[in-house]
Structure formats: C-alpha cells, structure tokens
C-alpha cells in the first residue's frame, strides 16, 4: 500500500484559496466536490509508487496568523450535524480546514435541543458566511443499530430503562426506526421482517431516514429566520469514504436487499 499524505498548508504565497460559497447551491457543490476528492485519494492507495498526496490550501487568516495576535473571525460556510463516531472526521472527509465548517456532533446525529440550539446559534450569528446546514449520517452507526435492536426485541429496552441519558438518545431514534420499518413493510409487504438481511436493511433505511428527517426539520425550523438558508443530508459510507444519498424513486426501490447502486454520490435536498 502507498503512503497517504494530506497536507494542510498555510501561508503559501502562490496558493489559490477558493473563495467562500455565495449561496447554498455553491456550498453544497463544494462539499460534494471535496468529498469526492477525499474518496478518490483513498481509492489510489493500492500497489507501489509515490505517496497519494493532497494539499488543502488554508487561508492563514483562518488561524489568526495575519492579525497580530487577534483571534480570527468565525466564518464557516456550512454547518454540519454529524455523529460522534470517531470514524467520521467531518472536516477531513469534506477536504476542508479550520473555520470552514461549524460542526456539531452527537451520537446518532439526532436533532435534540442542544444540537438544534447550536445550529440556530450558527444561523443567527454567522449568517453572513453560512449558507447551508447538512445532517450527516453514516453507515454502520452504532446508535442507530442499538435502536434497531431494541425495536426488534423490545425486551432489550429494560437494559436501558434506568439509564436516562441513553434513553434520551435512543427514544429519539426509535421513532425514526419505527417509521422506517413501516415504510419497508408498505413496500415489501408485512413478511419483509422474515427476509434474510432484514436487520441490516432496517439499520440502513433508518440511517437514511434519520438524516433526511433531521434535515427536513432544520429546514422548517431555521429557514424562517434566514432567507436563502438551505438544509441537505447525506450518508457517509465507511467502506468507500463517499457521502451518498438516495434519489427520487430510488429512495426505496422494490429490489431486495436495498441496493445502493440506485443511490448517487452526492447529498440529498431536505425538501422533496
């Protein structure tokens, strides 16, 4: 395997620093492009040869390097609500550096009061630069998987009955799991629960639904006060390093198991 080098370079005189996105579409495109570049870099590590290398040019002002001891001005162009999972380092997978993203992370990327309050702060106070809010789920999410296992075997709920903080997280996710299960039964019939791979498919459907629903809620809650603010969602696939989302009719196809071949490698919109 080749070495992988990701270099964050500050202050290079001939560096081309990309300008901040001017609207939500541009912000989304930049995140999609950044993720594709990151995934492509890691696709290139097989065999021998020089290191797979990528340089992320960073404006030195974003670390306060040109402001004579003063703090840099906060100016992220997107806010991201992601899972606390250590395998999903948000700036890295979008090929971004400091001061680009306002990141909120909580297990299962659920939209509880603290997360929504943090996003609202960003929208209210960083609106000059902030153009987009993204909810980012990921494959193999432990919090969503735990909620699915409790849904499939409710007796398991007793093990967390007195753990209030855990219950807070999982109760929120159980609503999503329940609606994903109902949707799957509506498409594949009630005996879908007996099919091979049902648990994994329910985890996958719940991860997508959880991110899409949170993005939709963010759009409804926050865009009232911030014209032009948009929300989007995506699912980071741990195996391929891509951020994907289902599209249109492909949101749940009739084929079994759920086929990611019908998804597209970019984020989905919070509004249908």
**In the complex, which residues of this chain contact Zn ion (CB under 5 A)?**
83, 85, 141
**CB nearer to Zn ion: pick between 52 and 143:** 143
**CB nearer to Zn ion: pick between 101 and 144:** 144
**CB nearer to Zn ion: pick between 31 and 203:** 203
User: Tokens 């541009």, residue?
Assistant: 26
Smallest gap from Cβ 85 to Zn ion, in A, equals 4
**CB nearer to Zn ion: pick between 41 and 175:** 175
Torsion of the alpha carbons at 134, 29, 45 and 247, rounded to the nearest 10: 70
Rounded CA-CA distance 158/160 in Å is 5
> 155 in helix, strand or coil?
helix
* End-to-end Cα spacing for the chain: 42
**CB nearer to Zn ion: pick between 52 and 176:** 176
CB 176, CB 214: distance < 8 Å: no
CB 127, CB 119: distance < 8 Å: no
**CB nearer to Zn ion: pick between 85 and 204:** 85
Rounded CA-CA distance 176/209 in Å is 7
CB 39, CB 242: distance < 8 Å: yes
User: Tokens 């980012």, residue?
Assistant: 136
Smallest gap from Cβ 72 to Zn ion, in A, equals 30
Nearest CA to 90 among 81, 231, 99? 81
CB 152, CB 170: distance < 8 Å: no
Smallest gap from Cβ 82 to Zn ion, in A, equals 8
Smallest gap from Cβ 145 to Zn ion, in A, equals 8
Smallest gap from Cβ 251 to Zn ion, in A, equals 21
User: Tokens 């014209």, residue?
Assistant: 227
Smallest gap from Cβ 84 to Zn ion, in A, equals 7
């Amino acid at each position: 395997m080749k070495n992988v080098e990701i270099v964050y370079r500050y202050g290079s005189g001939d560096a081309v620093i990309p300008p901040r996105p001017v609207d939500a579409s541009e912000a989304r495109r930049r995140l999609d492009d950044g993720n594709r570049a990151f995934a492509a870099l890691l696709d290139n590590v097989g065999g021998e040869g020089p290191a797979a290398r990528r340089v992320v040019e960073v404006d030195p002002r974003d670390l306060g390097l040109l402001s004579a001891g003063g703090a840099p001005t906060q100016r992220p162009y997107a806010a991201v609500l992601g899972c606390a999972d250590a395998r999903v380092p948000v700036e890295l997978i979008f090929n971004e550096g400091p001061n680009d993203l306002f990141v909120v992370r909580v297990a299962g990327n659920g939209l509880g009061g603290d997360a929504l309050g943090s996003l609202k702060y960003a929208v209210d106070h960083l609106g000059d630069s902030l153009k987009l809010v993204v909810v980012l789920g990921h494959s193999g999410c432990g919090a969503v998987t735990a909620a699915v296992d409790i849904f499939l075997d409710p007796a398991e709920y007793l093990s967390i009955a007195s753990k209030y903080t855990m219950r807070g997280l999982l109760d929120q996710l159980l609503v999503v799991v329940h609606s994903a299960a109902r949707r799957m039964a509506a498409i594949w019939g009630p005996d879908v629960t007996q099919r091979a791979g049902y648990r994994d498919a329910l985890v996958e459907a719940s991860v997508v639904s959880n991110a899409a629903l949170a993005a939709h809620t963010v759009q409804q809650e926050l865009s009232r006060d911030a014209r032009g603010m948009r929300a989007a969602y995506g699912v980071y696939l741990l195996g391929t390093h891509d951020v994907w989302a289902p599209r249109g009719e492909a949101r749940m196809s009739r084929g079994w198991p759920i086929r990611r071949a019908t998804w597209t490698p970019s984020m989905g919109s919070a509004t249908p």
